[in-house]
Amino acid sequence: MPAVSGPAAVTRESSSRFVTVGGTRLHYHEAGTGPRVLLCVHGGAPGASGWGNFGTNIAELSQHARVLVVDLPGYGRSDTIDLAGGKYRPCADLFAAMLTELGIERATVVGLATGGAVAIAMALDHAERVDRLVLVSSAGGVPLFTTTPSEGQKAIRSYYAGEGPSREKMRAYLRMMMYEPALVTDELVEERYLESVAGGEWRRAGAESAGVPAEPLWQELERITAPTLIVWGTENRVQGFDNALFLLQRIPDAQLHLFKRTGLWVPHERAEEFTRLVLGFHAGRPAEPAPAPA
């Protein structure tokens, strides 16, 4: 994905930062200023990273808030960590400590897919740090009627299997993940493929935390106290939108926004509408309706 141009001229390079937390070096992107903070946590599919998942949104978001877009441990340029204790909670603990290291008391936490489950774990275990919660195509719930594992989950788990990663596998995954085929450009395939093979075995170990059990966060959703916005695409073939309905039913203070003709990657597929939705929720305002077509 190319560098994002915008009012703040935010680029991948200009926003790149590192912080060391308890001996773990974390990479993140930072843009914008002010007391209100957005912490964005990306998904866990092969080739994912903070900038890769949220680079389309960071320039506009940073006009209204201080934005931190992290690389999950084992992804992007972040160190790997020991996940023997679980798939999500160790990352949640690390990001809560990262906020402390950066002098940030509270943040609106935006989590996509795997990052959504990490955000849920932060809201459960570090409630004092989570002002608001945005769950996008999130893991951590339970599918009510879609098959498990889903088509997308099978694709993710098989990416490093057999003959290993390839551009063809990456293109097939991206076409399945997003609704609009035109969004799967050669440039995007190349970027995600190269990211998926960077670091060799080190990166392979990070992909979807292979072999690490996922904590049953769904059993604790009623304990979430943060106001929560759930965002989903109805054509999501990785985490069906029945997962969103489950989250909506279990989280006490929650609202749901569904996009038609949209897959898993809502921040990219619906960039303008998604950004407006998150900013309104972050500020405590109701979402503005999308403009009517001309």
State pLDDT tens for residues 246-283: 999 999 999 999 999 999 999 999 999 999 999 999 99
Three-class secondary structure of residue 86 per DSSP? coil
Which H or E run contains 40?
Answer: strand 37-41
pLDDT at 200: 53
Q: Using alpha carbons, select from 137, 1, 10, 113 the residue that is nearest to residue 66.
A: 10
Q: How confident is the model at residue 292 (pLDDT cuts 50, 70, 90)?
A: very low
Average pLDDT over residues 23-52: 96
The whole-number average pLDDT for the span 42-60 is: 96
Q: Which of 149, 165, 177 is nearest to 207 (CA)?
A: 165
Terminal Cα distance for the chain, rounded: 29
- What is the residue-averaged pLDDT of the chain? 91
Other CB atoms within 10 Å distance of the CB of residue 104? 15
Q: Taking the mean position of all CA atoms in its chain, how far away is CA 192?
A: 15
The model's pLDDT over 191-239, given as tens digits with 9 standing for 90+, comes to 999 999 986 544 444 444 556 788 999 999 999 999 999 999 999 999 9
Q: Give the pLDDT of residue 284.
A: 86
DSSP symbols for 240-276: -THHHHHHHHHSSSEEEEEETT--S-HHHHTHHHHHH
Reported as a single tens digit per residue, the pLDDT across 122-145 is 999 999 999 999 999 999 999 999
pTM of the model: 0.92
- Percent of the chain, pLDDT > 70? 89
Q: How far is CA 138 from the centre of its chain?
A: 8
- Phi, psi (deg, nearest 5) at residue 182: -65, -20
Tell me the CA distances in angstroms from 37 to 33, 79, 211, one per residue in order: 8, 23, 33
At residue 212, the pLDDT reads 77
Distance CA 284, CA 27 (A): 29
What is the predicted pLDDT for the residue at 288?
A: 54
Gap between the Cα atoms of 59 and 62, Å rounded: 5
Omega within 30 of 0 (cis) for the link into 149: yes
- pLDDT for residue 85: 78
H or E segment at 19?
strand 16-21
CA–CA distance, 123 with 132 (Å, rounded to integer)? 9
DSSP state of 8: T
